[in-house]
Amino acid sequence: MQVTETNVEGLKRSYKVTVPAGQIETMLLGRLSEVGRQARVPGFRPGKIPMPILRKKYGPSVMSEVLEKAVNEGTNQAVSDHNLKLALRPAIEITNYAEGADLEFTMAVETLPDVVPMEFKAISLERLKVEAGDAEVSEALDHFAKSRASSEPVTEDRPAQSGDVLVIDFVGKLGDEAFQGGTAEGYELELGSNTFIPGFEDQLIGAKAGQELKVNVTFPEAYQNDKLAGQPAVFEVKVQSLKQKVPAKIDDEMAKVMGLDSLDALKKTVKEQIERDYDRLARMKLKRALLDKLAEGHDFPVPPGLQDSEFQAIWKQIEEAKAKDQLDESDKAKSDDDLREEYQKIAARRVRLGILLAEVGRLNNVQVQQDDLQRAMVAEARRFPGQEAMVFKYYREHPEAMEALKAPLLEEKVVDFILELASVSDKPATKEELMKEED
C-alpha cells in the first residue's frame, strides 16, 4: 500500500492512496474462504465449495466489503504514517478501480492545529462575592409566603382588583353561537395571572359580586384551536363571589412546614441558598472572563470545516430568531453580510477555545469520572418523570449521546484546572454589580 501526500494548504491535507491489485486479490480470496465455510450450495458440503463457484456466486457482494475494508485500512495507514490529528472525518473519493487493477483513492482531511497553551499563572481574574442581605432574605420569604397563600372571601363592599380571585360563570360565543370549551361554572380566576385570553382579565377589574357583564376579546392568531384562532368572541360573565389572596404567615410554623425548627433557621437556610445562587452566577462570569483571557492569548488557525459547522449552527439560530422577530436589538439594524462576518468570528472563537480546552485536558490528564457522568445522567433522567429507565437505556446504547453529555463536564473540569493555576482574587460586590450584563 502506497500513501502519497499531494497537497498541503494550512490545516488541509490531501493524499493519494494506492492499494496494489495483489493485495485486493488476497483480501478477496480470504473473505470468500470465510464465506465458503458457512455457504450452502447444492452438491457441495460447506467448506468444500470450489473457489470459482464461490467467486461467481458471492464475488460482487464480497468485493464491496473488501473495497470498503481496503479504503479503511488505507485511510488508517495514511493517518498513522503522517501522524495526523484529524479534526473531521476524511473525505474519500475512489478515483480508479477495475477488477485485476490497483485500487486508487484520494483522501482529503482537515487536521487539528498544534497548540501551545499560554502560561496560566500569568492570568489575573476577580471573582465577585456577594453576601445576601436581610432585604433579600425577606423578599425570598415573602415570595414563598405568597406561593402558599390561601383565598379568603372579601368581606367589604369593594370592586375587584388585580390579585383578587373571582369565582365566575361564563359562556363564550362566536356571534350568537356558544363554542365548545367556552363554558364553565364556579371557575376561580386570579386577576393578573394572565391565564386567560389577552384582555379578558383586564375587563373584570372593577367588577363586583353578583354583577353580570360581557367581555369582548379576540383569540390570538397562534391559538391552539384553529377554529378560534384570530376570531373575535364575547363572553357572558356572571361574578359569583370575590376572594382575596392572603399570604401565609412568616413564622416558626412556616419553618416547620419546610422541615426546620424555627424561623431563624429558615432565614439562615434561605440566606445560604441565595448566596449559593450568587456564587453560581459569579462562577459563570468568572468563566466568561477566563475564556476572554484565553481567547486573547491564543491565535492559532482553526479547521475551516469545524468553523463552518459551528457557524451554520449559529446562523440557524439567527434565522429562527428573525422568523420570530426575536433578533437582538443590536443585530436588527445590521445587514446579513455584516451579521455573517460577525458570527463567523464568534464561530472561530468558539472552535479555537474548544480545541484549546481539549488540548489542555489531554496534556494534563483531566478526565470526567464515572461518578460525575452518573450524576449527569440522573439529572437528565429527572427531566423525564416516569421514563428514567428509558433515558438510561438510551445513553447505554448510544455512545455518541454519552460523549455529548460528557463534553460540558470535561470543559468545566478543564476550566477548574486552569483557575487553580491562575491568580484569582475575591472582590466584594453588590447584587447589582453581579447582575450587570457585560458589554
Residue 233 is inside which H or E element, if any? strand 232-246
What pLDDT does 159 receive?
A: 94
Q: Which three cell numbers, joined as nine digits, stand for 364?
A: 494534563
Taken in order 230, 233, 239, 240, the sign of the CA dihedral is: negative
Domain with CATH 3.30.70.1050 in the chain: 2-110
Which pLDDT score, from 0 to 100, does residue 438 have?
67
Cβ contacts of 342 within 8 Å, gap of 6 or more: 334
- Taking the C-alpha atoms of residue 219 and residue 199, their distance in angstroms, rounded to an integer, is 10
Give domain 150-246's CATH number out of 1.10.3720.10, 3.40.50.720, 3.10.50.40, 3.30.70.1710: 3.10.50.40
pLDDT value of residue 439: 55
Domain limits, CATH 1.10.3120.10, in the chain = 278-435
Q: Which residues pair with 238 in a beta bridge?
A: 169, 212
Q: Which residues of the chain have pLDDT under 50?
A: none
CATH 3.30.460.10, domain 2-110, yes or no: no
Rounded to 5°, the CA angle 70-76-79 comes to: 140
Architecture of domain 278-435 in this structure: Orthogonal Bundle (1.10)
Output the pTM of the full model.
0.77
> From CA 75, how far away is CA 63, in angstroms rounded?
18
- Pick the closest to residue 140 from 259, 245, 244, 276 (CA basis): 276
* Residue ranges of the chain assigned to CATH 3.10.50.40: 150-246
